[in-house]
Amino acid sequence: MTNKLIGVAPKQLAERKLRSPLSRALREKYGRRNLRVIAGDTIKVVRGEYSGIEGKIEKVNMKRGSLAIEGIQREKVRGGNVKVEINSTNVIITDLDLDDKYRQALIDRIHNPKKKSLGEKKPRTRKQTKRRLTNKRVNKTKGGDK
Q: What is the pLDDT of residues 23-51, one digit of tens each?
A: 999 999 888 898 889 999 999 999 999 99
Q: In angstroms, what CA-CA distances link 16 with 9, 67, 105, 131?
A: 11, 14, 19, 45
For 107, the 3-state DSSP assignment is helix
Residue 55 has pLDDT above 90, yes or no: yes
pLDDT at 95 over 90: yes
Domain locations in the chain as residue ranges: 3-115
136-139's contacts with Cβ under 8 Å and 24+ in sequence apart are none
Nearest C-alpha neighbor of 87 from the set 17, 21, 35:
17
Residues 103-112 pLDDT 10s: 888 888 877 7
63 confidence band (pLDDT: 50, 70, 90): confident
Which DSSP helix (H) or strand (E) runs through 92? Answer: strand 91-95
pLDDT above 60: residue 146: no
Residue 13's pLDDT is 77
CATH number for domain 3-115, candidates 3.40.50.300, 2.30.30.30, 3.30.70.890, 3.40.50.2000: 2.30.30.30
Give me the phi and psi of 59, to 5 degrees please: -150, 145
Report yes or no on whether pTM surpasses 0.85. no
Q: What is the DSSP string of 12-56?
A: HHHHHTTEEEBPHHHHHHHS-SEEE--TT-EEEE-SSTTTT-EEE
Q: Which long-range contacts does 120-125 make (Cβ < 8 Å, 24+ apart)? A: none
